[in-house]
Structure 1
């Protein structure tokens, strides 16, 4: 049930054969009504099947909508996660910037430490040279014994003590400064490396999250496309089910009219039988009394047309049934450039549908019953319609005017004949030309 097939089918005009065409009592039998009832039941069963498919489509649409809701919730959670990761990345960038500033400050401190260490190194080198120049030893006893007085001795003891302690302090500070330098460098480098690693992890997380969002958005797009397609198919099925319902209703009218016609014919036959019996009795009486002659029987009127169908419009046949431009053309085209060209019903029947379609423009479907066989006729591209759905029409009755509505290229009538009821695949379409 593709969209193109249905749009063509829906705008086509159905008809089920001439409802009220003149038939003999032998032709119109209970069997023909039974056959029409069978076709009506088939239409009903087909419509039930389509309605079941519609319900299945709607159920699938509900599942797709639930899946989209679930995906949408997941996408929202992923969006929140991405936003959180971005905030954390921003925070880490601030920490990295702050740590970079700390590193710059530490670089200054390290430069000062290096300068102090270098100065101490120079001082220690000077002392080492002095130590070498003095023979490699410093005899603090000689320094003390060389005092000129006790006061000088005390001063020398204090000086020696200060020198010794100063040397120890220099060495200890030198060692501590080196340790501090190494510790600060290690701390700063470790902190920076940690921050950079954390930032890389967050950026990798953001990439993964965005990748998941992309995948889910693509899946969401696919689900939405499937839902739209399901909606379109369901709408097409609903349109087809509605058309089948209208065909079913038209068929019911056909059956009822057929029953009434049979009853009327039976009544007329009985009246004719009674008239003939009365005439025969009167003739017998007259013959016995006066010997008058029997009147000649009146001959029946000849049929108005020998064809099963009447040509629905005057004009030139521009296209027949069959393959055309790579597709199946299910009817014939009758063209006429004159103004106000009448379109008439090809046979007596019941209008199944009278409406406008984007493809077939103004279109009418008519149901007929001819010699116990149901038919469907299609009239399309009319400029106007003069009958409505459910209306009973007669053979040759004007139902519209030739036009150029819908997907049409020039004024013409598109006419189809289907043996039986119409279906979307147009499998019942037959050539109407031999039946005119």
Structure 2
């Protein structure tokens, strides 16, 4: 019975632990926007370090290309050298074959002559006084020695031919191996050039970010120097430096338009704003609410020219953001009103498909978003909201800045 109660107790304890684990809050790491002047400066330093690392990687790739090019040169030299050695081996083989034929012919004649000397006719010649017995024996011995030497030399020549034939095979294999190495070196060089192209693109991108961040740092250094909490230095909150005007309500950022894309998942990624079409490039874009320009990004590869404005509407803090601008008419730290033209509609001539730099647009439109809280750049999607006065639905049209949905 006790064992039964122990089993129930253990089961209940396990269940309680499981329920506690399920109900425990899950920690999510969200992207953090800089809160203090020091944070902003640290972001700038981080970007500069990334650029330095990228430049070092590019330099390393360039050195590897040079090393592979030298390896190709060395391999080509070895191939040429092997070709010469093969030709030399072929010449030796041909020369040996000629000598072999000559020796064979000479040896055959000597053997015939030797055979003739051993015949009775030779003795008859000796008897008839043609030669002495000693001369005859010496001639037979000499012929036998020459014949033996020729046969030994013939064998050496045949061995030499075999060696040269094997040398040709070995050299051909060496050439084949070197050609394979050259192909690998060329593939490595091609890959490294691809890496360098990526590093160059990254440099263009990081340079834009550094320029943007530097302008933000410079602007906030001036703003924070004139705030009541300037004594805090780099620990001063950006929100304390930024005097954001109060708004009673919202206006549309354009005089008219139609929603062509909504907030949410799109093509495997998150779309953090409404796309507003129906306007040609160069159309004026207004601030949806009065505020302070907190950040500007120029010619970003996905978003083009982008403007971030911190606003206060009804006592709540928001960041409004405008992407794919053809031109930007404001600067970081500038206070804007709802009648300020912050820029103009872009997205067509700036599109990568039309020869531009922006890969995230195919036609003229405004990417307009609103997020809770103050940001100077990257928006935390958890704080993205549907812009007040708009539905998050495709096809919605408005004909004036005061049209308000809802």
Residue 229 (1) aligns with residue 198 (2):
yes
Aligned equivalent of 1:194: 163
Aligned equivalent of 1:238: 207
Alignment TM-score, normalising by the size of structure 2:
0.64
* Aligned 8 A contact 2:308 2:319 in 1: yes
Aligned equivalent of 2:273: 331
Partner Cα separation in structure 1 for residue 105 and residue 63 of structure 2: 66
Deviation at 1:121, TM superposition (A): 2.1
Bigger drift between 162-171 and 238-247 goes to 162-171
* Cα displacement string for residues 2-47 of structure 1 (whole angstroms, at most 9, x for unaligned residues): xxxxxxxxxxxxxxxxxxxxxxxxxxxxxxxxxx994433222222
Partner Cα separation in structure 2 for residue 384 and residue 60 of structure 1: 34
SS in 2 for 1:434: coil
Partner Cα separation in structure 2 for residue 374 and residue 365 of structure 1: 17
SS in 2 for 1:162: coil
Aligned equivalent of 1:421: 375
Structure with greater helix share of residues: 1
Partner Cα separation in structure 2 for residue 199 and residue 225 of structure 1: 39
* Aligned 8 A contact 1:253 1:350 in 2: no
Aligned equivalent of 1:181: 150
* Aligned 8 A contact 1:368 1:375 in 2: yes
Aligned equivalent of 2:253: 312
Match of 1:433 among 371, 374, 387: 387
SS in 1 for 2:259: strand
Tell me the matched-pair count: 328
Deviation at 1:233, TM superposition (A): 3.3
Match of 2:80 among 55, 59, 83: 83
* Cα displacement string for residues 308-327 of structure 1 (whole angstroms, at most 9, x for unaligned residues): x3211122333322112322
Deviation at 1:257, TM superposition (A): 8.4
Partner Cα separation in structure 2 for residue 409 and residue 77 of structure 1: 49
SS in 2 for 1:433: coil
SS in 1 for 2:289: coil
Partner Cα separation in structure 2 for residue 124 and residue 422 of structure 1: 116
* Cα displacement string for residues 52-83 of structure 1 (whole angstroms, at most 9, x for unaligned residues): 23223333333444444444444444443333
Alignment TM-score, normalising by the size of structure 1:
0.60
Partner Cα separation in structure 2 for residue 215 and residue 338 of structure 1: 51
Q: Which has the larger radius of gyration?
A: 1
Structure 2 CA distance for partners of 1:350 and 1:182, relative to 1, 3 Å:
same
Deviation at 1:338, TM superposition (A): 8.0
Q: How do 1:40-55 residues align onto structure 2 when only pairs under 5 Å count?
A: 40-55=37-52
SS in 1 for 2:323: strand
Match of 1:380 among 323, 334, 344: 323
SS in 1 for 2:253: coil
Partner Cα separation in structure 2 for residue 316 and residue 217 of structure 1: 52
Partner Cα separation in structure 2 for residue 248 and residue 304 of structure 1: 24
Partner Cα separation in structure 1 for residue 43 and residue 139 of structure 2: 108
Q: How do 1:5-404 residues align onto structure 2 when only pairs under 5 Å count?
A: 38-97=35-94, 99-100=95-96, 103-122=97-116, 124-127=118-121, 159=128, 162=131, 164-165=133-134, 167-252=136-221, 306-307=248-249, 309-313=250-254, 314-336=256-278, 341-351=283-293, 352-353=295-296, 355-356=298-299, 359-360=302-303, 363-370=305-312, 375-382=318-325, 385-387=328-330, 392-402=335-345, 404=347
* Cα displacement string for residues 169-190 of structure 1 (whole angstroms, at most 9, x for unaligned residues): 4522441342243133123213
- The one of the two structures with greater contact order (alpha-carbon pairs below 8 A, sep at least 6) is 1
Structure 1: tracts of 5 or more residues without a match: 1-35, 132-139, 141-155, 260-302
Structure 2 CA distance for partners of 1:424 and 1:61, relative to 1, 3 Å:
farther
Structure 2 CA distance for partners of 1:212 and 1:425, relative to 1, 3 Å:
farther
Bigger drift between 159-168 and 175-184 goes to 159-168
SS in 1 for 2:367: strand
Deviation at 1:247, TM superposition (A): 3.1
